[in-house]
Amino acid sequence: MSIMYYNGRVAAAHLYKLGGSTALMRKNTGNGQARITRYWLLLAALPLASGAALIVHVLTTISLGVALIGAGIIVIGAGTLAWMRLPSMARTEIAQRAKVGLIAGLLATIAYDVSRWLIVTVFHDTFMPFHVFPIFGYAIAGTNLNPDIATTIGTLYHYANGVLFAVAYAILLAPRAWWIGIFWALGLEALMLSIYPGWLHPSPFEEFVSISMLGHVAYGAVLGICSRRLLARQKGTHVPGIKLFNSDSAH
């Protein structure tokens, strides 16, 4: 089911309850489709704010901690506005997908880290992918931190990113084919490759790229499979029958 069809059914249902004429319903249903689509996409984009905060930190003199606080304020404000303006059926669907994204994102991030650890261990690479964790911690809370505390904060930030990126994916694409998750992850990989080299100067660069890319493939595969199956289980439907928007959500 397409997003426009889903949104149209929601808008039409609300207009029918108001007793609108056929012509008015057609006009306002189109407006309702566009409005719901905008708010749906906004709610899908907001979980990406934690990554956007890192970009702000890298490109400016703003600390990552301050950037995260600013991002959080924007997310709360814009998210509340979008959520309140969505009809109840759309809210229910988005809430289901967000829950799926939380679980799938945690599993996918674990797969991402395990796959990178395995690559480094098996091939005896010299690039250490987990050395970025304390760097995240210092960027968030300052350079005077105890190294262990910095590593803990950085690890939490790393996992928050992995989970939140998965929530964004689930809100948009959870019912799609599992391999769509790999394309999503490779998009994240491309963004990372545009930022990290100039910021962290990873070396050897070839190892950094190969480890990161394989890790993102593992992340995307687990994300795509888990999101699809968990959403199907929530709805009590068979996985092969799920389209962009499950037809059950429009009835």
CA distances from 128 to 109, 123, 210 (A): 17, 12, 12
CA distances from 19 to 15, 24, 90, 144, 177 (A): 7, 10, 21, 64, 39
| AA identity, residue 177 | A
Question: Which domain does 219 fall in, by range?
Answer: 3-250
* Residue 103 scores a pLDDT above 60: yes
For 43-56, b/e burial (b = at least 16 CB within 10 A) is bbbbbbbbbbbbeb
Q: What is the pLDDT of residue 143?
A: 93
Digit-coded pLDDT (tens) for 173-209:
999 999 999 999 999 999 999 999 999 999 999 999 9
pTM of this structure: 0.84
| Cβ contacts of 214 within 8 Å, gap of 6 or more | 115, 116, 119
Number of domains in the chain: 1
Query: Lowest mean pLDDT: which of 29-38, 167-176, 177-186, 219-228?
Result: 29-38
